[in-house]
Chains A and B, each alone.
Chain A
Amino acid sequence: MTVTVERDDNIKIIAMDGQLDVSSSDATREEVIKLLDGKPTIISLEKVSYVSSSGLRALLMIAKTAKARKIKIIYAAAIDEVVDVLQMTGFIKMLRCVKTVDDAIAELS
């Protein structure tokens, strides 16, 4: 799993790339949380091919940390399989998820 900052001006866009599972979820969570600096943040899941149980928890903990720091955070562009998993397990209700990064930018602007 790689984590890249794709944009960092008035909005921060962080892209995840890879599988979010037990081997990567702790490190990814910590890495993303370190990048939260107060700006509204979009996390692009476009290149995340799989999210496991521990991956779901990482996504939730990132969102909860952002909320506690009063940082707006939106997950965007997850592939259908990942959206399905978020829906089946109900995690989607605890995260703000939109279809595209552009949708997220529009919401934060």
Chain B
Amino acid sequence: MRIDLHPTDTISGFKVRPGLFLTNGAQIVPGGVNFSVYSSGAKSCELVLYNSHEKEPFAVIPYPESYRIGSVFSMIVFDLDYENLEYGFRVDGDYDFHRGLAFDKNKCLLDPYAKIVSGRDVWGEEPDWNDKFQYRSKVALDDFDWEGDMPLKTPHNELIIYEAHVRGFTKDESSDVKFKGTYAGLCEKIPYLKELGINAIELLPIFEFDEFEGARDDGNGGKLMNYWGYSTVGFFAPKAGYAASGQYSMQVDELKNLIKELHQNGIKVILDVVFNHTAEGNENGPYISFKGLDNNLYYILTPDGWYYNFSGCGNTLNCNNPIVRNLILDCLRYWVGTYHVDGFRFDLAAILGRNQDGSPMANPPLLESLAADPILKDACLIAEAWDAGGLYLVGSFPAYGRWAEWNGKYRDDVRRFLKGEAGLAAAFAARVTGSEDIYNRFWRGDTASVNFITCHDGFTLYDLYAYNDKHNEANGWGGSDGGNDNHSWNCGWEGDYDLPEGVRFERHKMIKNAAAILLTSLGIPMILAGDEFGNTQYGNNNPYCQDNKISWLDWNDLDKNRDLFNFFKKMIAFRKAHPVLTRQSNGTPPGYPPVSVHGTDAWHFDSSSENRVVGIMFAGKTKDNKDDFIYIGVNAHWESHAVWLPALPLNMIWQVEVNTALGDNAVYDEAVELDSSAQFIIGARSVMVCTAKER
């Protein structure tokens, strides 16, 4: 027994001693639990202890002045039943709104470092609104039998990301898993993900949030919820309602098991994280944690104490304040170090580069710290490089050679070109070939661009080709929410009612065109979960509040649209088989550039406004070091066009592997050789994928 782990005092009937000042939050120590919290403006602090789900605390233990170093309060309390314990802090200090001081000693605050948050243990279970302490901190067991697991080493170039919502992925009956809508349910679907071939899953926010935040009646007896969860309550706690075992507070083990199982199947885990704001809202929002600890430190405030709203969600986290910066760094290190998470996608990340007065910084200390941190060294850092305050940093995000970005221009340019818009050929070619006009390879490396055509925010891929207009009436804002710049095309028939076969055929072709482009573009591809089997949101392009069939994947579509699944699977395997597509080719065949752009005639790219035919050739080496040529022919025009492929070395001949014009049979069982003229007719709105073989 350590000599510094003996009780020294008795307070309120509890054996206590000064705690471990360098740890944050609650930590189990031999014989007791250490509770540390800091608040720069606090005059005093109390630790409040509850038995699980009890309304009244069983103990209130004030931190003696001698249990404080600087602004850190720390105390070990002995002999606690820590599995049945909920705790919080009450902090006393000044209240002066216009100076940003919001202390209220009557409020019981969630530990900002809480590893488990209780209060929303089972998704959608109505909480007791009379309970003054809604979000309660709990102590977690940090040990876990990882059986040798570590974050995966898959090079970033090779990533094929799959963006999914934990609940929506398996909540529908059709998912056919035991633990629907949970981490455990997702775990049951790993064989499916493996068959598809993706090697990274990006989860929409899984930090504890409140699905009841902003909840409204939908007018039909149901509720509109905070389904997406972009509003963090606890940064260190996994969403309890996503755990089948959340009612037993076992979400930590359940999520760690999911990550371990994904890793064993070669799938990295990337978390979508929200540091731009918190669930505390503005001056009308609830006190959860930060407001009562140090309001004017955690939030960017106007000179007279109002909340800046660069996030569009009420408040803005003061990311480049040194205290907040450390909190964010601690958080990310925790997820990598104890959960073995492989990377992060940062929601509205431009805010992470704003100064404490809200102005953009050239060299933001937070982003620099994250880029240089030793624990985060191999983690993917992906920025959504804009915010709701008008700061748009795509291509100019302070990256330190380390950060990748969601390439919003890729989405828009590829959508517009494939839809048949004029004047997009050059932009389209630039997107497919790595967007080097946006991301200078010298500074940004090969993996700066995360390419996507669809993501959770907007139409699904099926809806992109099933709806000209968004259909968001169900969201309750009269259809006014959600983006209007969808660049979608319904193929001549709005929606699915009474769908003519010819339109269905065209839609499947358009989906395959998009999949073929996405999976042969340079950069990191990201697929929205369900797009591989034609999942629909019925034209809703902003279902953030739809916890129902609109958002949940309908796995019946997998049987119905098997051709789409097989096509995605083929293109993923194709990408993996050709190092040149991931910029990992070991050399280039003599006389050929690694990437070249062509028109209907080889080597003659036509950048004129009316051209809608683009050919891209990649030249490199196969894994066994043979010459490798790939030609992607894209015809976005509504008429077919003859193209001449570039001449190959004399010992090689072109063969077609994929031709989306063939509809359900777009993938050839055996590649079809072209004759020596290397001419091919690309059907209207079609994509062909050719490779070279030796004669």
Chain A interface residues toward B at CB < 8 A: 21-23, 52-54, 56-57, 60, 84-85, 87-91, 94
Contact = CB atoms under 8 A, between A and B. Distances in A.
B83 A53 contact: yes
Contacts of B82: 22
Nearest to A81: B248
Contacts of A53: 83, 141, 248-250, 252-253
Interface stretch (B159-167, B254-262, B661-669, B684-692): B254-262
Nearest to B261: A90
B179 interface: yes
Given A52-B248, A94-B145, A89 B253 contact: yes
List 10 tightest A-B contacts by C-beta distance, closest first.
A90-B257, A89-B253, A22-B83, A88-B245, A88-B244, A88-B184, A53-B141, A88-B254, A89-B254, A52-B83
Contact of B84 (A22, A57, A89): A22
Contacts of A84: 244
Given A54-B141, A91-B253, A85 B178 contact: no
A88 B261 contact: no
B175 interface: no
B245 A21 contact: no
B53 to A, nearest CB: 15
Given A60-B145, A85-B245, A88-B182, 12 more contacts: A21-B84, A22-B81, A53-B253, A87-B178, A87-B179, A87-B184, A88-B254, A90-B187, A90-B253, A90-B254, A90-B257, A90-B261
Contacts of B250: 53, 56, 85, 88-89
By CB atoms of chain A within 10 A, which of B147, B243, B257 has the most? B257
B143 interface: yes
A21 B83 contact: yes
Interface in B237-253: 243-245, 248-250, 252-253
A89 B144 CA distance: 11
Contacts of B258: 90
A106 B346 CA distance: 54
Interface in B139-196: 141, 143, 145, 147, 178-179, 182-184, 187
Interface in B363-380: none
Nearest to B257: A90
B556 to A, nearest CB: 25
Contacts of A94: 145, 147
A22 B138 CA distance: 14
11 contacts: A22-B81, A23-B81, A53-B249, A57-B141, A84-B244, A88-B179, A89-B245, A89-B250, A90-B253, A90-B258, A91-B257
Interface in B115-148: 141, 143, 145, 147
A53 B249 CA distance: 8
Name, among A54, A87, A91, the residue most crowded by chain B CB atoms within 10 Å (CB to CB): A87
Contacts of A57: 141, 143
B275 to A, nearest CB: 28
Nearest to B183: A88
Interface in B70-93: 81-84
A85 B248 contact: yes
A88 B84 contact: no
A91 B258 CA distance: 11
A94 B257 CA distance: 11
A53 B178 CA distance: 21
Contacts of B183: 88
B167 to A, nearest CB: 15
A43 to B, nearest CB: 18
- Best-buried of A56, A88, A91 by chain B (most CB within 10 Å): A88
Nearest to A25: B83
Contacts of B260: 90
Contact of A89 (B83, B143, B147, B257): B257
Q: Select the residue from B83, B254, B258 with max chain A CB neighbours within 10 A.
A: B83
Residue with the highest number of chain B CB atoms closer than 10 Å, among A53, A57, A89:
A89
A95 B145 CA distance: 12
A57 B140 CA distance: 13
A53 B179 CA distance: 19
Nearest to B260: A90
A93 to B, nearest CB: 8
A87 to B, nearest CB: 7
A94 B144 CA distance: 12
Of B178, B184, B250, B258, the most chain A CB neighbours within 10 A belong to: B250
Contacts of B81: 22-23
A107 B145 CA distance: 26
A91 B250 CA distance: 12
Nearest to A55: B83
B339 to A, nearest CB: 14
A87 B248 CA distance: 13
Contacts of A60: 145
Contacts of B252: 53
Nearest to B255: A89
A26 B147 CA distance: 22
Instruction: Determine which residue in A22, A53, A87 has the highest number of CB atoms from chain B within 10 A of its CB, and name it.
Output: A53
Contact of B83 (A54, A85, A91): A54
Contacts of A21: 83-84
Nearest to B185: A88
A59 B204 CA distance: 33
Nearest to A90: B257
A69 B482 CA distance: 62
A94 B243 CA distance: 20
B228 to A, nearest CB: 24
Contacts of B257: 89-91
B253 A56 contact: yes
Contacts of B147: 94
Contacts of A90: 187, 253-254, 257-258, 260-261
A85 B261 CA distance: 17
A23 B147 CA distance: 27
A77 to B, nearest CB: 20
Nearest to B182: A88
